[in-house]
Each structure stands twice: as C-alpha cells, then as structure tokens.
Amino acid sequence: MKIACVFLLVALVPLASSRLHINNGHFVLNGQRVFLSGGNLPWMSYGYDFGDGQWQRNKDRIEPQFKKLHEAGGNSMRFWIHMQGETTPAFNDQGFVIGPDKQGTMLDDMKDMLDTAKKYNILVFPCLWNAAVNQDSHNRLNGLIKDPHKLQSYLDKALKPMVNHVKGHPALGGWDLMNEPEGMMIPDVHNESSCYDTTALKNSGAGWAEKKYLYKDMLRFFNWQAAAIKTTDSGALVTMGVWNPKSNTDHFNMNNHYSDFCLRKAGGRQKGVFDFYQFHSYSWQGKWDEVAPFTHKASDYGLHKPIVVGEFWEQDGGGMDIIEMFKYVYNNGYAGAWSWHLVQRGDNQRKGIAAIKDKTSNGKIPISL
Ligand SMILES: *[C@@H]1O[C@H](CO)[C@@H](O)[C@H](O)[C@H]1NC(C)=O
C-alpha cells in the first residue's frame, strides 16, 4: 500500500504544477490553451527595482499593480530587470560581470517578485535589457554585446544563477531578453547574409537611440543568453520584444533577423532560439505602417511561432481605442496582448484587459497558478 501511494503522488505532482508551455503553436497551462493578456509594469524605479536591497524598498508600490491587473482580468505582465546595467548585474572595472548584484539580494528579489505575482495568478516575463534608449555611457551593456568573453561572464555569474534560482517557478512565464534591440542597430548595412543585411531597415527608424551594433553581435548576444537559459532550465520559454515586425518577418520584403537559423548562425549555440515572438506596435501621426499587427493577422508574418503583441497603447493606436485594440489582438490569431504601460496608463488599459477577459475562442485568460 505504501509503495502504491508513493507512485500515485509522483504521478500527480507534474499535473498539479504544470508550467506555461507551447504546444501546437499555442500557449498551454494546466492542459488548457491560454491567451496572455496584461501589460507592461514595466518598472517602478527605472533600473533600480531589483538587486542591492531595492526590491524590498519598492515592493509595497509594486504589489498593488499585480492585484489591479488580476482584478481587471489580466493574467500576465512584462517587467524590466537590468535595463543597461544601471544597478544590476554587478560589473568590475573592466566590464566583466562578477555577480547578479553587489549586495547579494538579486536572486531572492527575483524569487520574491514571482512569489508575489503567484498570489495574484499573474505570469511574469522578466525583460532583461533595454536598447530603446542609449544611456550606456559606462559601456556595460555595450561590452556584453561586443565582447564574447564579457557576455560569457554575464551568463556564468548572473544569468545562470538567476535562472537556476527561479527555475520551474509557476509564476515565471518566460524570459524576454531585450526591449527593442533595433533602437541601437545600424540600418543600411549590406551583407551577403540576409541575417546581417539591414538595407531593408533603411529609413525604418531603426537606430533611433544610436547606430551602434551589427546583427552579428546582437544575434550572438541573444543566442548565447537563450542557450544559457535553456541549458539551465530546459522548460523555460524565451522571447524578445521587437520595436516593429519589420525586423522579425521574411514577408513584406523584410528580413526575419531573429529566425532560429540566424540566431544559430551568429552564435553557434543550438539551443539559443526563441520560443515565441513579440511585436511592439505604435502608429505614427495617427496611421499604422504597412506591417503593423493591427492591420494584419498573426499568420500574415509567416513565422510558425506564437506572436504576442507586447507593447501598444491607445495614444498611438491608429484611431482605435484600447478596447478595440485588445479585441483586435485577441481575434486575429495572436497569442497575447500586453499594453504599455500599467503604471502610467493603467486605468485606461485595464478597460481593454477587462473587455476580453471572458473570451475563449483564442484561448482562455483566467489562470490558476
Ligand atoms: C557580413 O557580415 C559578417 C558578420 O558581421 C562579416 O564577417 C562579413 O565580413 C560581412 N560581409 C561583408 C561583405 O561585409
């Protein structure tokens, strides 16, 4: 009898603790197809929310955001971590990473953040880096992108310990490697490989923060981080948020720089690919551009991976209101919708989140962690 009971428990545990995963091109949790609905937190104190004791100081202001999102009917949140290395990870004077943070609270900060999210049934997608602004005067992020030895120090001393510490946490939705790398890409570079050729991005706006990086370097940066995450936690999901689908599709005369092929070509690490894609979308002077997700179905991009529309807002919504925007994303084959952003414009965005919360045709939204 005792032996039978032990077997029964072992068999039941995996069912009870199902993690978000992807099956047949859809997010699945606890055996049910799920649509990710929510928003970007994205920070309370930009670059100063985690590590070095900062989380415990900010938590009282952050926890209500999880609660409000849950009450509106949301199930997921994108939350930014390192930005450009303002406070984490810890670097030495040569630009090598020596730890997750200086004071040794980072790992528990991440875990406590996820424990807090779990209380409200919110999946968190930690976003590690930001390339949408250039505030990297100390060249910390720059070193990791350009110098493989520095990148490896980040993987060994910070990323793998972080991933290992929160591995399998039910509130961990997935890892988002960077916000909008295109902010610092050099457009109009000719190359024999479409992975590295950015002529299609000429006059697209890419490089708005500063024209600093070649795709060879940026793709290695992603390939190695994704591989490190999946080597440490084989069930982890990895994504990255592009500023516009223009850099992330082979349709519309563009190049998908973030295909499995391009990531492996640049970095050489087999596991270092994305599980799902994430498009950001803002209209310009009231109009959507020709590749905007709000004028297409997810299948129009020819990607064969789930696509989350990971940033959008009514203010640059091409004339749509927030409710129409959430409904459009839900109804057109996308796998999730995260608005920008919950702290600044939460009341507006929670209306959109509430408007789709009971829909089921493209996946259920309420989850239980
Ligand atoms: C294409 O890009 C790769 C990687 O950056 C580089 O090594 C190669 O020299 C480039 N080719 C040309 C023709 O510039």
pLDDT of residue 18: 83
User: Ligand 1 test: best mutation among 191, 192, 215, 262, most atoms within 8 Å of CB?
Assistant: 191
Q: Of 16-25, 91-100, 318-327, give the lowest mean pLDDT range.
A: 16-25
- Interval 105-150: pLDDT, tens: 999 999 999 999 999 999 999 999 999 999 999 999 999 999 999 9
* Burial class (CB within 10 angstroms; exposed 0-12, middle 13-18, buried 19+) of 92: exposed
The answer to whether residues 166 and 173 touch, using CB atoms and an 8 Å cutoff, is: no
Per residue in 184-229, pLDDT (tens digit) is: 999 999 999 999 999 999 999 999 999 999 999 999 999 999 999 9
Residue 12, pLDDT above cutoff 60: no
Cα of 134 to ligand 1 centre, how many Å? Answer: 25
pTM over 0.85: yes
**Which among 180, 182, 210, 290 is annotated as catalytic?**
180
Cα of 250 to ligand 1 centre, how many Å? 20
The DSSP secondary-structure symbol of 298 reads: G
Q: Has 180 been annotated as catalytic?
A: yes
Q: Is the CB of 191 under 6 A from ligand 1?
A: yes
Do 74 and 130 meet the contact criterion of CB atoms below 8 Å apart? no
Residue 241: partners with Cβ closer than 8 Å, 6 or more residues away? 78, 127, 176, 178, 179, 180, 278, 279, 280, 310, 311
Look up 324 and say whether it is catalytic: no
Predicted pLDDT of residue 200 = 98
pLDDT at 13 > cutoff 80: no
93 burial level (CB within 10 Å; 0-12, 13-18, 19+): exposed
Q: What is the pLDDT of residues 272-289, one digit of tens each?
A: 999 999 999 999 999 999
| pLDDT, tens digit (0-9, with 9 covering 90-100), for 37-49 | 999 999 999 999 9
Ligand 1 nearest atom to the CA of residue 215, by list position:
5
Asked whether 199 lines ligand 1 (CB < 6 A), one says: no
Which position among 182, 210, 290, 311 bears the catalytic label?
311
| C-beta neighbour count of 24 within 10 angstroms | 6
Q: Residue with the nearest Cα to atom 13 of ligand 1? A: 191
Q: Domain 34-356 falls in which CATH fold?
A: TIM Barrel (3.20.20)
Spans of all domains in the chain: 34-356
